[in-house]
């Protein structure tokens, strides 16, 4: 198998230059980098991850910790992060915490503290002071996605503003009887996303002179099935049927559309529906939504990680960056009939 000396000889550079060009650490001109990569490709030379780690102190691997893997939003964030890491020549090690508290303890007190990853991205997890401290002690950069964390660079969306925008869209169409499908106690997440979206919904109603009605709220679990069941309760009441529904996620909003159809109601003529996410199926269902660009969130998290791994980085800047969101109007919302 060819070694680094053969690559250096074919490219006409030193072995140190080959190491810098293939590892991405240190300055190498773009022309030289391309020449080294062509030589390595021609010879079939593959950098040993073990040797690279010994030389640079880096494993070229980032750990991503996520609370669920079977939810579209988290998968989309993960997909964006993985794509960005690959472009930087990094691997991704996934830690899925859907099993409960014991798994979280194992991940943060054992796996991440071993020299297996260079940095950590925590998605929708409100890290404790102890978890942050242990990672910082080992010099592992941390980026959080979902909300502010003390001492950590984070990315977060304003969930109250997101819910206000969705509700204001329905109010602007002329709706006054607007129901909300939010979270139940079992689905209350880190950073209190369901609670914040209910706050935004109620703030928008109050600002428009509409008194929030507790009978027009149903709790669910942020799944299509949960949204379907909650919508059946709201829309099946002939005495207090709302003319519009704001669901705190697109999956619950799609469940609402399916429940309306099963009840013989037409969306949007009988009931308007709006969600949050811009799920991959939302366009198929004609769902109006607030897009929060999860793949972009993953890519932005990787950008922050790479910045902290840069040799010239001067330390962690524990600031929070606001994430973008956008109202996308489709065929599921219209003026009340």
Sorted by where each begins, the domain ranges of the chain are 4-56, 61-157+294-322, 159-291
The angle subtended at Cα 117 by Cα 128 and Cα 145, nearest 5°, is 45
Is residue 106 within 8 A of residue 323, CB to CB? The reply is no
Percentage above 90 pLDDT, the chain:
60
Low-confidence ranges of the chain (pLDDT < 70): 1, 23-26, 46-58, 99-101, 114-115, 187, 189, 311-317
Distance from CA of residue 82 to its chain's centroid?
12
Q: How many CB atoms lie within 10 A of CB 259?
A: 24
Strands 288-291 and 326-328: antiparallel
Task: Characterize 199-214 residue by residue with b for buried, 16 or more Cβ atoms within 10 angstroms of its Cβ, and e for exposed.
Answer: bbbbbbbeeeebeeee
Q: Where are the alpha helices (DSSP H) in the chain?
A: 4-11, 15-23, 30-43, 49-56, 72-87, 101-106, 129-137, 159-172, 193-207, 224-235, 250-262, 294-309
pLDDT value for 110: 79
Residue that the structure tokens 């950069």 belong to: 141
Peptide linkage before 66 cis (omega within 30 of 0): no
Classify domain 61-157+294-322 at the CATH topology level.
Rossmann fold (3.40.50)
* Helices (runs of H) and strands (runs of E) counted in the chain: 12, 12
Instruction: Please provide the CATH number assigned to the domain covering 4-56.
Output: 1.10.260.40
Q: How far apart are CA 160 and CA 43, in angstroms?
A: 56
| Tokens, residue 61 | 């691997």
| Closest to 321 in 3D by CA, of 147, 161, 76, 159 | 147
C-alpha 133/C-alpha 34 separation (Å) is 40
Q: What does the pLDDT read at residue 2?
A: 75
Q: Output the pLDDT for position 20.
A: 75
CA 133 to chain centre: 23
- The domain 159-291 having CATH identifier 3.40.50.2300: the answer here is yes
Q: What is the pTM of this model?
A: 0.81
Residue 59: what pLDDT? 73
Whole-angstrom distance, CA of residue 247 vs CA of residue 277 = 10
Residue 122: predicted pLDDT: 94
């Amino acid at each position: 198998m060819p070694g680094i000396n053969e690559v250096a000889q074919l490219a006409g550079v030193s072995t140190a230059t080959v190491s810098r060009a293939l590892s991405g650490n240190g300055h190498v001109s773009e022309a030289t980098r391309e020449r080294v990569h062509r030589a390595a490709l021609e010879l079939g030379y593959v950098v040993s991850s073990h040797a690279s780690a010994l030389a640079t102190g880096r494993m070229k691997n980032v750990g991503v910790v996520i609370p669920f893997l079977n939810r579209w939003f988290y998968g989309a964030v993960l997909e964006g992060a993985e794509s960005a890491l690959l472009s930087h020549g990094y691997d991704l090690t996934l830690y899925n915490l859907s099993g409960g508290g014991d798994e979280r303890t194992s991940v943060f007190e054992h796996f991440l503290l071993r020299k297996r990853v260079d940095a950590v991205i925590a998605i929708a997890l409100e890290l404790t002071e102890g978890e942050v401290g242990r990672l910082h002690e080992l010099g592992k950069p941390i980026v959080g996605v979902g909300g502010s964390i003390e001492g950590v660079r984070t990315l977060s969306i304003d969930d109250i503003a997101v819910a206000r925008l969705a509700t204001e869209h329905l109010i602007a169409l002329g709706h006054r009887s607007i129901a909300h499908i939010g979270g139940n106690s079992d689905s209350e997440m880190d950073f209190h996303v369901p609670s914040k979206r209910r706050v935004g919904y109620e703030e928008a109603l109050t600002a428009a002179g509409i008194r929030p009605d507790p009978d027009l709220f149903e709790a669910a679990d942020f799944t299509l099935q949960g949204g379907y069941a909650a919508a059946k309760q709201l829309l099946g009441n002939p005495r207090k049927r709302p003319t519009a529904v704001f669901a705190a996620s697109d999956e619950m909003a799609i469940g609402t559309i399916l429940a309306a159809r099963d009840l013989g109601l037409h969306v949007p003529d009988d009931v308007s529906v709006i969600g949050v996410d811009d799920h991959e199926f939302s366009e198929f269902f004609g769902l109006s939504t607030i897009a929060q660009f999860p793949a972009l969130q993953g890519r932005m998290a990787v950008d922050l990680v790479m910045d902290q791994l840069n040799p010239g980085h001067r330390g962690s800047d524990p600031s929070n960056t606001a994430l973008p969101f956008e109202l996308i109007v489709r065929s599921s919302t219209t003026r009340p009939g």
